[in-house]
Structure 1
């Protein structure tokens, strides 16, 4: 079937974009102007997969979607439940019909040599649809990043990534190596400490920052990320840009030994890891978290190179990358490895695709803003296409 536009992803960014198109008179649904595809079984985007101990009080929270504010969240209810209910209510309120589950395999021009050709979107199950534009809002959840360390395939214990976590009881009585310098690693270390022996591994000293996490901080983070992504560079890791706030829970974790990094390992054995020389003695913050000195130096106590530790679990909290493999046929990437942007949502190489929630717009605040912008861009492009055809 043929559509004016196809939105891939029904999380914060995708719903904001769909709402903007709806507000401008475009209909959504299988037999309408705009088709919304989502890989999940139900509403909630990536939030529906989060662990039960994560509540909106412990995360950064989410921004209100345009036209419908979220009710005051109950801090006792899992974020996965609250956000799924909110997104589901939003879809119903504005009649945003979403096709799901509908994971996408690839997006490509119908006629590769024609720069004005429609785009074909093919699903994993083989179904395909065409459209004048594609608004990509697939986020990062489906592309977890685990660095390759020699020996990783030989480890006999359990390995898991942030997205695989369910509950702390699964770690009871085990020796757990938590890898990563971001807030997820910090929060998991504190959550797991009562039930398991933990060791914290980071490549650089923990990037604690003295800066208050206020609105100005958020804008500074987005500016720092935008400078990289708009130049065609991959976005810097979240922790290098945001830093770790010096709140009492985290400082107490340093004081009791839970939040002290022992450096990084460069080899994995059948039963553990072998630590290496630190890459750096500086946190190497980026943007608002940049500092010339360690803010909490006692959080950094690397083990001597060659130290071997036996562990039962390696818990990778090493972040995510944009989930955009399906866009590979569009050849959007620059030689630097990122996607050069003409503006906040438009790739310089092809304006038939809009990237919603990419780079500096990955937060729910940024995704909402980018969704509205993408909706406006798409509406304008489609209206001009109609005029040109006439």
Structure 2
């Protein structure tokens, strides 16, 4: 209760483990507070068929490579196993079942309260909880009238529950396309899109796309240092399994529907079509309510930061935010570099408060 740690890491997924690696490497006294029974982040909750979009050789956390063929695309279960082995290998100090519910700051010390009733003190905090626990579902006219089922892709695991259904998947990025193609084998599935799906080949001149992104420096280019927002891509990376089914109309693509009605959806031409299930693959939003009291968030609940360093709350840092420092930020291949950067900033801050 009275011990003051050099750092507390909030979240034990891939970003938390990478942060722990760099904190340990610099011989700091720290704990990782993980809300779940497993310190594997959101991976156990993703749909079962998910694979990494980058090959194993580019997807490891610092210190340990992903074993096996470096050119394969690891599955969800392989990533979970890798993260479990990673924390054991480095013997990272993880306190599980410790969901953080509030953070306050008294002078130069943070007080972290968990749902289990424990309180921790720390000179610094690295927040790595991401946004998976806050799926974004846009409001569409008539949604409250729809008698069918609506879910977010965060709640989708396997296609078995949708056999012989009429399903509409909303979205045009990788997850939406992968889920829709999988469902099209067992159901009548449509992708509802704003713009037609854009396909980018996974292999260019025999090399994975991420090889070229790294060679030209785009993957890790620090746009934020120049006051620029890190660009996002609306293209779908095709490992070879997407183009053919899309070309065959399995699933087909339609312009996003304009509204719901009791039995289904209304397409832009006014056609009403009965639908059993609508799946929104529409992303996630920031969700850090426990940081409100330390005035770390803007009016929309997003962290106020530059490259993962809070610009409003000294001693507070982030890892795992999309576009935090580069195109690779928030990915398995990018969190190690981001964690190394914020830990260097954290060390400099600790020097100032001695």
How big is the shift at 1:220? Answer: 3.3
Corresponding residue of 2:175? 184
Is 1:102 matched up with 2:98?
yes
Corresponding residue of 2:282? 318
Is 1:244 matched up with 2:207?
no
Structure 2 distance, partners of 1:76, 1:364, is 15
Is 1:264 matched up with 2:227?
no
Corresponding residue of 1:381? 349
Corresponding residue of 2:335? 367
Is 1:21 matched up with 2:23?
yes
Whose strand fraction is larger, Structure 1's or Structure 2's? 2
> Structure 2 length as normaliser, TM-score?
0.85
Corresponding residue of 1:292? none
* Residues 103 and 111 in structure 2, CA contact (< 8 A), matched pair in contact too: yes
SS at match of 2:253: coil
Structure 1 distance, partners of 2:226, 2:170, is 26
Structure 1 distance, partners of 2:283, 2:200, is 19
Corresponding residue of 1:12? 14
Q: Give 5+ residue unaligned stretches, structure 1.
A: 27-32, 111-115, 277-303
Structure 1 distance, partners of 2:346, 2:155, is 35
Structure 2 distance, partners of 1:121, 1:162, is 32
Q: Give 5+ residue unaligned stretches, structure 2.
A: 324-328
Structure 2 distance, partners of 1:77, 1:337, is 34
Is 1:51 matched up with 2:47?
yes
Whose helix fraction is larger, Structure 1's or Structure 2's? 1
Corresponding residue of 2:61? 65
> Structure 1 length as normaliser, TM-score?
0.77
Is 1:34 matched up with 2:30?
yes
Structure 1 distance, partners of 2:267, 2:226, is 33
- The 3 A distance-change label for structure 1 pair 3 and 245 is closer
Is 1:220 matched up with 2:218?
yes
How big is the shift at 1:267? Answer: 1.6
Structure 2 distance, partners of 1:242, 1:215, is 19
* Residues 134 and 353 in structure 1, CA contact (< 8 A), matched pair in contact too: yes
Corresponding residue of 1:333? 297
SS at match of 2:343: helix
Report how many aligned residue pairs link the two structures. 339
How big is the shift at 1:328? Answer: 2.3
